[in-house]
């Protein structure tokens, strides 16, 4: 079964390669969607794919990479978007 999650990651998540690492994880898990920085310092993400893979990325987002500090992760279910591939939006 496929699911879609959309939400925000807050903390020290800009200027540390966070978006690129999200894209790497999404590609590894064969997920679709996008990630982008927001002017308020948060990162916005939309991800869809197989439930287990999406949940694995969700767990990764909660922890982030070593250079980052995730203070808050807020994701909510969304209807599937039918996106193909995973991109970093600017």
22 pLDDT tier (thresholds 50, 70, 90): very high
Q: Is residue 77 part of a domain?
A: yes
11 has a pLDDT exceeding 90: yes
CA angle 37, 41, 42 (to 5 degrees): 65
- CATH number of the domain encompassing residue 47: 3.30.70.100
User: Does 10 reside within a domain?
Assistant: yes
Half-sphere exposure of 89 (CA within 13 A, CB side): 13
Flag whether 88 is in a domain. Answer: no
pTM for the full predicted model: 0.96
Return d(Cα 39, Cα 17) in angstroms, integer: 16
| Dihedral sign, Cα of residue 34, residue 16, residue 27, residue 49 | negative
Helices 18-28 and 51-63 sit at what angle, rounded to 10 degrees?
Answer: 160
Residue 28 in domain = yes
90 pLDDT higher than 90: no
CB 26 within 8 A of CB 57: yes
The residues assigned a catalytic role are: 19, 37
Residues recorded for the chain:
90
Domain extent at residue 63: 2-83
| Unique residue bearing structure tokens 């193909």 | 84
Total domains in the chain come to 1
Q: What is the pLDDT of residues 38-59, one digit of tens each?
A: 999 999 999 999 999 999 999 9
């Amino acid at each position: 079964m496929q699911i879609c999650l959309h939400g925000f990651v807050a903390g020290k998540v800009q200027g540390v390669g966070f978006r690129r690492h999200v894209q790497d994880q999404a590609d590894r898990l064969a997920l679709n969607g996008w990630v982008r920085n927001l002017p308020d310092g948060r990162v916005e993400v939309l991800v869809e794919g197989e439930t287990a893979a999406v949940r694995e990325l969700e767990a990764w987002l909660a922890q982030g990479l070593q250079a980052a500090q995730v203070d808050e992760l807020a994701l909510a279910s969304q209807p599937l978007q039918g996106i193909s591939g995973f991109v970093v939006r600017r």
